[in-house]
Structure 1
Amino acid sequence: MVAAGIAMAIGLTACGGGGDGGKAGVAAVPGDPAKVTGTITVLTNRTDQVQDGTTARYAAEFNKVYPGVTVKFQGLTDYEGDVKIRMNSKNYGDVLLIPNAVPLSQYPSFFSPLGPASELSGKYDFTDRATVGGQVYGIANIGTANGFVYNKAVWRRAGVTDWPKTPREFLDALKAIKDRTDATPYYTNYHDGWPLTNWGNALGSPSCDPAAGDRLAETDEPWAPGQDLNVVDTLLHDIVKEKLSEDDPNTTNWENSKNLIGTGKVATMWLGSWAVAQMREAAKKAGGDPDDIGFMPFPTQVDGTFCSVVRPDYLYAVNVNSQAKEAARAWIEWFVNSSGDARAGLSISSVKGAPLPSSLEPFQEAKVKFVHMGFAKNALVNDIDKASEVGLNAQDYRQRIVDVARGAAEGDLGTIFADLNKRWADARSTVG
């Protein structure tokens, strides 16, 4: 569900798009909804919503406003892979979630502009992620904060009621859980792999710096002591090193992890705030208490304040080849503003001024600072990351950290950081 922050270059060419640089766009929804007609196909990664009838209910509500539009949905399990292939033709739906693999520079070849950044940035967050030449090519439905999903009842039984303010306090809390309860203090979700990529989204939390991502383009040592990636990856390493995670990471299971934390057999997992709704639903089905599922920020503070990085989920776009652009644009506008999907999923709406979901009210009460990461040097950081073969938002190097920490691979954390820094420095010397 959560969109990866680092895009990967793929072999998409303009032959799959309209070849007009996206100029045949639609900058606004027509004033009279009755005049908007056509049939649109909406591609989605939410196969669960297609199967349980949620998308059909959304379409019915949409038709109360736009009766002349027929909305069809295609739920794709391997969304990234399937859409990447389809984008080599003109047949990739009318409305789609922009695949992470599409470089920002290619957006005008495949998507229609939705309006000027000067206008849309005042209405929606994250528009900078899809702005090319002053035009916005994608709008996010939701944003997600990053933190630890945790079972509050388990933490209370261990005698921990306050959020840890330092990595050491966090480790001590996990140790108390291990000593005083039967729960596994932390669950890595190592086997499925992709949940480990979320550790990369902690970048910016220790420093509370919205430019933390851009600064990666300016340093040869992102894993030097005190740097965000050093703090984040050290915590992951120490959790495993101090035997505060599951006994065998190779046996973890993502779907079952929901039941485990929902019933108090697991205490803590690092994920996005989007996961709270899923964990609460799993708790309800498994006989646990949904109200036990909480969310806490990364255990660091700047000037006495916790910081949580907020990132967008997938961005919605209109296929530049669509024959029903007005209807497609109307769907995006209605879905983001009026469907209630963000609220139902306990997610952060991208609409500026929208209230926070109930799951994040404790963050608001504790005055946690939400950090929106800058995007100015994202393309350069992506190029350096690709050349270095580090994979900032890939699972591989963090699986290596887990393996070294548990003694299943040679080396130590210092060796890992030295290798990562060297590869990053070498890549910087050859990129740009």
Structure 2
Amino acid sequence: MKPRTSRKLSTVIALAAASTLVFTGCSSASGGNDTGEPSGEITVLTNRTDIVDTVFQDYVAQFQETYPDVTVTFEAITDYEGDTRIRLNSSDYGDVLLIPSSNLGKDQFSQFFEPLGTSDEMTEKYRFINEGSYEGNVYGLSTFGSAMGYVFNRDVWAEAGITTPPETEAEYLDALEAVKATGSTPTYTNYQDGWPLASLVGNMGSITGPAARIDMAQTDSPWTAGTDIYAIDSLLYDTVAAGLSEADPVTTNWEESKNLLASGEVGSMILGSWAIAQMQDAAEQAGKPRDTIGFWPMPWQTDGAFTSVTASDKLLAVSANSDNKNAAQAWVTWFIDESGFAASQGAISPVISDPTPDTLADFADLGVQYLELDADPAGDESLLQDIANESEITVLGEAYRQQLIDVARGAQTGSKEAFFADLNERWAEARATIG
């Protein structure tokens, strides 16, 4: 689930400017209706400001056919990550919420969220269990999964003479140059909204395989040629430095970017497959066929085949402070199993038995191999996040990639080599501190 519009909450959290959060946690509140038939009122925090008053209300009506005694109220938050991370320092973060993806280590899950079941049990039914698990317990279920790649405007790329996906970084950059020659902006970073840059880390594993995340936590210099994180960030730098992205990244706008891609003003955007349906909707609204929008894998191949990492989007959890945990868990289970939300987004369902979405037809035609990252070793489930926090490198966020873009476009002094050397130095120091 990604943020979509700019509708603000009526209550704005004044502490949003805080740069570093200390999660103190809160004790689990056991009161309310935690046993028996679900009933009572629950508040669900969501980042889907665009459909909270429409689609989500339909979900409530369907949910109440099974659970008529549960009242569901939504709180739609535009800056979901920032606001929710701050609210975790109190007990006021709803009954059901999406787990913030940065700064919060897995070893903190039990402080804030109620266990939903054991990893062994839930792996039988659901995908992406590792991402919401710690020490054998599951604290968050995936709302849906995505395969990584880039959405693109077929008409623009065809005009540029590109009808098959580039197989190497050099071919990719050449393709973007050809797209630029048509008058379109080759790719769009969505720098200002930030979270699309954070999503780039979802490509980790495309080059070295399923242990990429584990390997990154075990090396002092991950930003070195041959690693996944180097390839991801180096390609971003090279793209911007070559003038193949938007001219003024500080003025980007997520909602408008959909229209830009649909109209052909922008040629492509690196995103998860969850974005395909939204881009196709924009094309349809512009009077163009839905298949104007395509989805190709990133330009990295292994043994002659493309690989796409599949991973969870947001994780849905029950607050440890909820007064109605029984009702809250009923909503989580129903939403994941019954709502059809993943299918509506053209995304990969977390329910193993559900079919692959039609939006990934391009990948099927290309024979793209899907890959899910290995589970973190027992005892080291939060190691990568701990190192990232200690080094103040937002591996799972966007801040350092915004800085990388600024260097690449000349808004800050520096070079790619110097930038990566600094990241490696900070990473090594953080690993030494954590031990």
Q: Same fold (TM over 0.5)?
A: yes
Letter in 2 for 1:425: A
Would you say the 8 A contact 1:114–1:135 is kept in 2? yes
Q: Where does residue 193 of structure 2 map in the other structure? A: 192
1:78 aligns with 2:79: yes
Match of 1:103 among 88, 105, 109: 105
Would you say the 8 A contact 1:18–1:90 is kept in 2? no
Q: Post-superposition shift, 1:363?
A: 1.3
Would you say the 8 A contact 2:343–2:349 is kept in 1? yes
Would you say the 8 A contact 1:17–1:89 is kept in 2? no
Q: Post-superposition shift, 1:90?
A: 3.8
Q: Post-superposition shift, 1:2?
A: 4.2
1:25/1:171 CA distance change after superposition, 3 Å: farther
Would you say the 8 A contact 1:9–1:102 is kept in 2? no
Q: Where does residue 13 of structure 1 map in the other structure? A: 24
Bigger drift between 258-267 and 371-380 goes to 371-380
Would you say the 8 A contact 1:186–1:268 is kept in 2? yes
Letter in 2 for 1:416: F
1:383 aligns with 2:393: no
Letter in 2 for 1:140: S
Bigger drift between 148-157 and 387-396 goes to 387-396
Matched residue SS, 1:269: strand
Q: Where does residue 69 of structure 2 map in the other structure? A: 68
Matched residue SS, 2:342: helix
Q: Post-superposition shift, 1:306?
A: 1.0
Letter in 2 for 1:418: A
Alignment root-mean-square deviation, CA: 2.5
Q: Where does residue 425 of structure 2 map in the other structure? A: 422
1:306/1:62 CA distance change after superposition, 3 Å: same
Q: Where does residue 8 of structure 2 map in the other structure? A: none
Provide the rounded CA distance (Å) in 2 between the counterparts of 1:110 and 1:231: 35
Q: Where does residue 282 of structure 1 map in the other structure? A: 282
Would you say the 8 A contact 2:342–2:349 is kept in 1? yes
Would you say the 8 A contact 2:223–2:229 is kept in 1? yes
Q: Where does residue 7 of structure 2 map in the other structure? A: none
Provide the rounded CA distance (Å) in 2 between the counterparts of 1:407 and 1:108: 44
Would you say the 8 A contact 1:263–1:289 is kept in 2? no
Provide the rounded CA distance (Å) in 2 between the counterparts of 1:321 and 1:254: 33
1:395/1:95 CA distance change after superposition, 3 Å: closer
Q: Where does residue 159 of structure 2 map in the other structure? A: 157
Would you say the 8 A contact 1:19–1:109 is kept in 2? no
Match of 1:176 among 173, 178, 181: 178
Match of 1:114 among 113, 116, 119: 116
Q: Post-superposition shift, 1:298?
A: 0.9
Matched residue SS, 1:196: helix
Matched residue SS, 1:230: helix
Would you say the 8 A contact 2:188–2:266 is kept in 1? yes
Q: Post-superposition shift, 1:89?
A: 4.3
Provide the rounded CA distance (Å) in 2 between the counterparts of 1:96 and 1:109: 14
User: Any residues of structure 2 matched to 1:246-265 within 5 Å, and which?
Assistant: 246-265=246-265
Matched residue SS, 2:51: helix
Once the two structures are superposed, what CA deviation does each residue of 1:284-335 show, in whole Å capped at 9, x if it has no partner? 3334443211111110100112111222122122223333333222221111
1:306/1:133 CA distance change after superposition, 3 Å: same
Identity of aligned residues (%): 47
Q: Post-superposition shift, 1:162?
A: 0.7
Provide the rounded CA distance (Å) in 1 between the counterparts of 2:59 and 2:165: 38
Q: Post-superposition shift, 1:414?
A: 1.9
Matched residue SS, 1:146: strand
Letter in 1 for 2:22: G
Provide the rounded CA distance (Å) in 1 between the counterparts of 2:406 and 2:88: 37
Provide the rounded CA distance (Å) in 2 between the counterparts of 1:85 and 1:223: 30
Provide the rounded CA distance (Å) in 2 between the counterparts of 1:313 and 1:75: 17
Matched residue SS, 2:221: coil
Provide the rounded CA distance (Å) in 1 between the counterparts of 2:428 and 2:147: 30
1:232/1:263 CA distance change after superposition, 3 Å: same
Once the two structures are superposed, what CA deviation does each residue of 1:197-231 show, in whole Å capped at 9, x if it has no partner? 22222221122x11101111221221222221222
Matched residue SS, 1:50: coil
Would you say the 8 A contact 1:204–1:309 is kept in 2? yes
User: Any residues of structure 2 matched to 1:318-333 within 5 Å, and which?
Assistant: 318-333=318-333
Once the two structures are superposed, what CA deviation does each residue of 1:374-402 show, in whole Å capped at 9, x if it has no partner? 34145112222222222223333323332
Bigger drift between 384-393 and 143-152 goes to 384-393
Provide the rounded CA distance (Å) in 1 between the counterparts of 2:29 and 2:65: 35
Letter in 2 for 1:12: F
Once the two structures are superposed, what CA deviation does each residue of 1:242-272 show, in whole Å capped at 9, x if it has no partner? 2222333333332221111111111011112
1:404 aligns with 2:404: no
Matched residue SS, 1:260: helix
Q: Where does residue 10 of structure 2 map in the other structure? A: none
Provide the rounded CA distance (Å) in 2 between the counterparts of 1:13 and 1:247: 42
1:217/1:89 CA distance change after superposition, 3 Å: closer
Q: Where does residue 299 of structure 2 map in the other structure? A: 299
Q: Where does residue 59 of structure 2 map in the other structure? A: 58
Structure 1, unpaired ranges of 5+: none
Letter in 1 for 2:124: G
Query: Given the two structures, how large is their TM-score scaled by the length of structure 1?
Result: 0.88
Letter in 1 for 2:202: N
Q: Where does residue 43 of structure 1 map in the other structure? A: 45
1:234 aligns with 2:228: no
